[in-house]
Amino acid sequence: PDFMKNKALEITSGFIFNKLKNRPFFTSKIATSLDGFIAKTAGEQYWLTGDVSRRFVHDLRSRVDAVLTGSGTVLADNPQLTCRIPGVGYQPHRIILDSQARVPLSSHLVRNASDIPVIIIHGDVADKARLRALAANGVDLIHYQGDGSIKLGWLTDILASRGYQHILIEAGTVLNTAFLQAGLIDRIYWLKSTEILGDGVPSVMRKIPHAGINTDATMDFGHSATYVRTSEGSLGDDNLSCWQATTSITRP
């Protein structure tokens, strides 16, 4: 009766979680140096992990409903957030938290929004002309009332109402911190390279003891009342560990 049980739970976790808790299942992918930094300098694209890890991330994208990130990541990296594995036709939706609608019209995301859906969630301060231009390029716009940070409770309700069951977070320091602080990350894939930066951009903004993050500067992740490590191994030259929230319903 337990044959392939964990794999089945992993595949169906979004559906089951959505039905029982009425919100999407959130998986976060975090890539750091060996000493826990995500980049050398804020706003600068910097590859830490190798080709095998990048293929893993592409495969991960093929198994979720949507990939979520913030405008800071888009401005720094100009990502596509697509699965680029030959023969894999499915593409996740791309969801961008962008209160000021700063995503450039020339970005990869906007340029292929008519083919692969892009949703930008913006606030009151977004420029109306920019919003019209984004919509003309096929971007789906969701407005929230306010000019500050998006309330995550409101966000999860909106995403659930739109049918999203499993969302992959590929974001920077601010969103990682916010989702961890709110207890909304149900699974973490932590990719760790062999490179030592010594200093740089932290993966979180502050200590989050209940999430097992015990330092202000790096991804010093450990067992806690909230997360347990369910697997660990090599991925090319990198290390991959999977952490599962103890409050989630699955333990893949």
Place of tokens 């916010």: 178
pLDDT at 247 over 60: yes
pLDDT at 2 over 60: no
Given a contact cutoff of 8 angstroms between Cβ atoms, the answer to whether 183 and 35 are in contact is no
pLDDT at 96 over 90: yes
Per DSSP, which regions of 132-176 are E strands? 140-143, 166-169
- pLDDT > 90: what percent of the chain? 52
Place of tokens 């392939």: 4
Helix (H) or strand (E) holding 57: helix 51-61
Question: Using CA atoms, how far apart are residues 34 and 195, in angstroms rounded to an integer?
Answer: 6
Question: Using CA atoms, how far apart are residues 64 and 170, in angstroms rounded to an integer?
Answer: 12
Q: What pLDDT does 252 receive? A: 40
Q: What pLDDT does 217 receive? A: 42
Question: Using CA atoms, how far apart are residues 141 and 56, in angstroms rounded to an integer?
Answer: 30
Given a contact cutoff of 8 angstroms between Cβ atoms, the answer to whether 213 and 220 are in contact is yes
pLDDT at 222 over 80: no
Q: Which amino acid is at 202?
A: P
More confident position, 148 or 4: 148
Question: What integer best gives the mean pLDDT of the chain?
Answer: 85
Per DSSP, which regions of 176-237 are E strands? 187-192, 201-202, 227-235
Sequence-separated (6 or more) residues with CB below 8 Å from residue 65: 14, 24, 92, 93, 163, 164, 165, 166, 167
pLDDT at 43 over 70: no
Question: Using CA atoms, how far apart are residues 119 and 88, in angstroms rounded to an integer?
Answer: 22
pLDDT at 239 over 50: yes
Q: In a 3-state reduction of DSSP, which class is residue 213?
A: strand
Q: What pLDDT does 37 receive? A: 83
CA 172 to chain centre: 9
Given a contact cutoff of 8 angstroms between Cβ atoms, the answer to whether 134 and 120 are in contact is yes
pLDDT at 24 over 90: yes
pLDDT at 248 over 80: no
Question: Using CA atoms, how far apart are residues 171 and 72, in angstroms rounded to an integer?
Answer: 8
Mean pLDDT of 208-232: 61
Given a contact cutoff of 8 angstroms between Cβ atoms, the answer to whether 32 and 213 are in contact is no
Mean pLDDT of 200-215: 60
Q: What is the DSSP letter of 36?
A: S
pLDDT at 215 over 50: no
Q: What pLDDT does 129 receive? A: 97
Sequence-separated (6 or more) residues with CB below 8 Å from residue 148: 99, 123
Q: What pLDDT does 66 receive? A: 97
Mean pLDDT of 105-111: 97
More confident position, 97 or 46: 97
Place of tokens 């600068």: 44
pLDDT at 1 over 60: no
Given a contact cutoff of 8 angstroms between Cβ atoms, the answer to whether 57 and 92 are in contact is no
For residue range 153-200, what is the model confidence (pLDDT) as tens digits?
Answer: 999 999 999 999 999 999 988 898 899 888 899 999 999 999 888 877
pLDDT at 212 over 60: no
